[in-house]
Amino acid sequence: MAKKQFKAESKRLLDMMINSIYTHREIFLREIISNASDAIDKLCYLSLTDGSVGMKRSDFRIRVSADKENRLLTVSDNGIGMSREDMENNLGVIAHSGSLGFKNDLDEKSADKAKIDIIGQFGVGFYSAFMVSDAVTVISKAYGAETAYMWQSSGTDGYTVTECEKDGVGTDVIMHIKPDAEEDKYSEFLDSWRLQELIKKYSDYVRWPIIMTVDNWVERETGETDDKGEPKKEYVNEPQDKTINSQVPIWQRSKKSVTDDDCKAFYKEKFHDSEDPVAVIRVNAEGTVSYKAMLFIPAKAPYDFYTRDYKPGLQLYSSGVMIMENCADLLPECFRFVRGVVDSPDLSLNISRELLQHDRQLKVISTNLEKKVKSELKKLMDSDPESYEKFWNSFGTQLKYGFVSDYGAKKELIKDLLVYPNSFGEGLISFAGYVEKMPESQKFIYYAAADNAERAAHLPQAEQVLDAGFGLLYMTQDVDAFVVSMMGDWDGKEFCNVSVDDLGLETDMQKADTEKKEEENRSLLDFVKDKLGGEVEAVRLSHKLKTHPVCLTTEGEITLEVEKYFRSLPNGTGEKVTARKVLEINGEHPAFAALQKAYTEDPERAEKLAKILLCQAKLIADLPLDDSSEYAELVCALF
Ligand code: ADP
């Protein structure tokens, strides 16, 4: 019979797997057992909601058996089974195809690393069987089906699916273990002790019994007597079924009996992450609604986190039976990065997706979890800023968007969690942290907006604030403008955008001085505005500048950052959004003196100087010049 070919990407993965130098090939057993457990979950769930399945919870089990002579290792389950189509679809193609596309561009040299990354990060499940076997046979009968099917493959050359006989529903995965090679002693995977050890190590928490028939040497009398007339004894093997795993899911176990490392290992395996989470949250609630939860805050965002492919939500269990894989209603959108499980005996099993939203118990749980996640993050921020920064770099943008979306519905929840790079030079700081550092004399929370913190720090408008000994927050994302406007104030302290607002740093005397000087130079300033041909709304003598000659500020709602944002939108959709710009000139700067001189002696030169100053202000503000060669010519004309 003609063999069917694996889909292209599966074949690549299979190649990698078979030739893998991966030292943790023992994890194949965990992967196969975990599939068996999932299959039982599915049938068990059906049996609880549909009486006709005819199976009790206690009927379900996974059996692991080894046949040394024929080098066969078999994992059998009585779960939901697979139809012919299921086999074609699930075993002929890799499930997490995204993980492979991700690594496509790797060159030869990094190929070894890629193998480890793929296996470590995503857990390639069923295919891992080929790390230890040279042939795999899957015999399965789907629930409700009359016919059983056999899937066979000896690696990359393809697979066959044929009809076969099988008693009862479920799946047998039969692995033909590779022959021992010099360094690779595959026979260990046929050894009963070793298999028990592996099951304990990787699959102890699997909720269904994993049964092995193990040697059981018993003493018995032979019926004869020895020289002294005592009854003769002998030891005989009466193999016995033994449940190897403890079966209590990790989240059901007492906090004392589970270490932090256990939780982290569980997280990495279950949620396919190669890094430890930054925090583990355990909840054991009793009251109106009883439930246990184990939540994780990942350290890094999955590659698809900021795309539509990412499935947020927690796994929902009712007394150890999974009833929903991704229950998004358990946490607000802003915490969609949280992973974990929630298990409550109070939840009804045949709850539908729509009903879930209105379920009272679920509401109670979600309100509680929301608080827990928030307080855990706050704790992390205060006690371990380094980890918080790691978390923030992955999910900070999500929190900011969560803060501003839905008209600020989650404002109160999130406001303490927002942090910014700043001029204090101590990593990130929260608004509360900033306000705490404000001296009595400081009126505003100052911030500078630019593409990155460095640029923000070097804005001319920032200088006075820093010189006054006040701190600055650096805001570098488009969403920050909305964060500030949604926040309004912090403890009555208002925000001040150094590029827009009055810094409030001058005394009335100084202000009056500048205004007087401005009046004296009125005609010059009008001249400049006129020569700039409508590019700026006004030209003023600045209250903000110290060592720099010029800067651009804005009037009205649209700031330079907003203008830049709209400019960045595709197809010129943002063309019309322009900030009302003000050119501020430093009246104390030699450049201004030169301008004054030119104005009286050589107005043509004054016009050139005015244009140069505007270009400089634009460059400092990171705005594009309309005509950069004109600017170059203007500057050269000065030599
Ligand atoms: P994953 O389990 O991550 O989806 P696998 O490669 O391990 O990826 O398995 C692919 C699919 O094959 C599973 O999602 C499941 O649908 C099916 N499958 C594998 N093993 C079994 C089994 N023992 N019983 C029923 N279905 C199975």
Residues 6 or more apart whose CB falls under 8 angstroms from that of 194 comprise 188
**Residue 90, ligand 1, Cβ within 6 A:** yes
Probe target for ligand 1 pocket from 34, 38, 315, with the most ligand atoms within 8 Å of CB: 38
**Residue 82, ligand 1, Cβ within 6 A:** yes
**Residue 126, ligand 1, Cβ within 6 A:** yes
The ligand 1 atom at the shortest distance from the C-alpha of residue 75 is: 23
Are the C-beta atoms of 330 and 321 separated by less than 8 Å?
A: no
Using the mean position of ligand 1's atoms as its centre, give its distance from the Cα of residue 172 in Å: 12
The CA distance from 556 to 433, in Å, is 29
Q: What is the pLDDT of residue 157?
A: 73
Using the mean position of ligand 1's atoms as its centre, give its distance from the Cα of residue 90 in Å: 6
Probe target for ligand 1 pocket from 126, 139, 326, with the most ligand atoms within 8 Å of CB: 126
- Pick the residue whose CA is nearest to atom 12 on ligand 1: 90
H-run or E-run covering 74: strand 72-77
Instruction: Report how far Cα 67 is from the mean position of its chain's Cα atoms.
Output: 43
- Full 3-state SS string of 34-59: HHHHHHHHHHHHHHHHCHHHCCCHHH
Using the mean position of ligand 1's atoms as its centre, give its distance from the Cα of residue 4 in Å: 19
The ligand 1 atom at the shortest distance from the C-alpha of residue 31 is: 7
- Pick the residue whose CA is nearest to atom 8 on ligand 1: 125
- Pick the residue whose CA is nearest to atom 21 on ligand 1: 35
Pairing of strands 279-285, 291-297: antiparallel
Q: Cβ of 262: how many Cβ atoms within 10 Å?
A: 15
- Pick the residue whose CA is nearest to atom 17 on ligand 1: 90
Using the mean position of ligand 1's atoms as its centre, give its distance from the Cα of residue 545 in Å: 66
Q: Cβ of 374: how many Cβ atoms within 10 Å?
A: 19
Q: Six-digit token pair at 156? A: 């990359």
The ligand 1 atom at the shortest distance from the C-alpha of residue 77 is: 23
Return the closest-CA partner of residue 461 out of 476, 452, 451, 449: 449
Q: What is the pLDDT of residue 143?
A: 96
Pairing of strands 321-327, 291-297: unpaired
Residues 6 or more apart whose CB falls under 8 angstroms from that of 388 comprise 278, 377, 380, 381, 419, 428
**Residue 10, ligand 1, Cβ within 6 A:** no
**Residue 77, ligand 1, Cβ within 6 A:** yes
Are the C-beta atoms of 459 and 496 separated by less than 8 Å?
A: no
Pairing of strands 291-297, 339-343: antiparallel
Using the mean position of ligand 1's atoms as its centre, give its distance from the Cα of residue 35 in Å: 5
**Residue 87, ligand 1, Cβ within 6 A:** no
Using the mean position of ligand 1's atoms as its centre, give its distance from the Cα of residue 353 in Å: 23
**Residue 151, ligand 1, Cβ within 6 A:** no
Residue indicated by tokens 């001040």: 496
Using the mean position of ligand 1's atoms as its centre, give its distance from the Cα of residue 29 in Å: 13
Q: How many CA atoms lie within 13 A of 38 on its CB side?
A: 13
**DSSP SS3 for 364:** helix
**Residue 366, ligand 1, Cβ within 6 A:** no
Q: What is the pLDDT of residue 9?
A: 65
**Residue 125, ligand 1, Cβ within 6 A:** yes
The ligand 1 atom at the shortest distance from the C-alpha of residue 34 is: 2
Give, to the nearest 10 degrees, the angle between helix 385-404 and helix 360-383.
130
- Pick the residue whose CA is nearest to atom 19 on ligand 1: 35
**Residue 79, ligand 1, Cβ within 6 A:** yes
What stretches in the chain show pLDDT beneath 70? 1-2, 6-24, 92-124, 348-358, 571-575
- Pick the residue whose CA is nearest to atom 23 on ligand 1: 36
Probe target for ligand 1 pocket from 13, 35, 46, 78, with the most ligand atoms within 8 Å of CB: 35
**Residue 78, ligand 1, Cβ within 6 A:** no
Q: Six-digit token pair at 450? A: 């630019």
Using the mean position of ligand 1's atoms as its centre, give its distance from the Cα of residue 125 in Å: 7
Q: What is the pLDDT of residue 87?
A: 92
The ligand 1 atom at the shortest distance from the C-alpha of residue 94 is: 6
Q: What is the pLDDT of residue 92?
A: 66
Using the mean position of ligand 1's atoms as its centre, give its distance from the Cα of residue 258 in Å: 28
- Pick the residue whose CA is nearest to atom 1 on ligand 1: 125
The ligand 1 atom at the shortest distance from the C-alpha of residue 170 is: 24
Probe target for ligand 1 pocket from 80, 90, 136, 326, with the most ligand atoms within 8 Å of CB: 90
The ligand 1 atom at the shortest distance from the C-alpha of residue 36 is: 23
**What one-character DSSP code corresponds to residue 437?**
T
Using the mean position of ligand 1's atoms as its centre, give its distance from the Cα of residue 122 in Å: 14
Using the mean position of ligand 1's atoms as its centre, give its distance from the Cα of residue 81 in Å: 10
**Residue 170, ligand 1, Cβ within 6 A:** no
The CA distance from 342 to 352, in Å, is 17
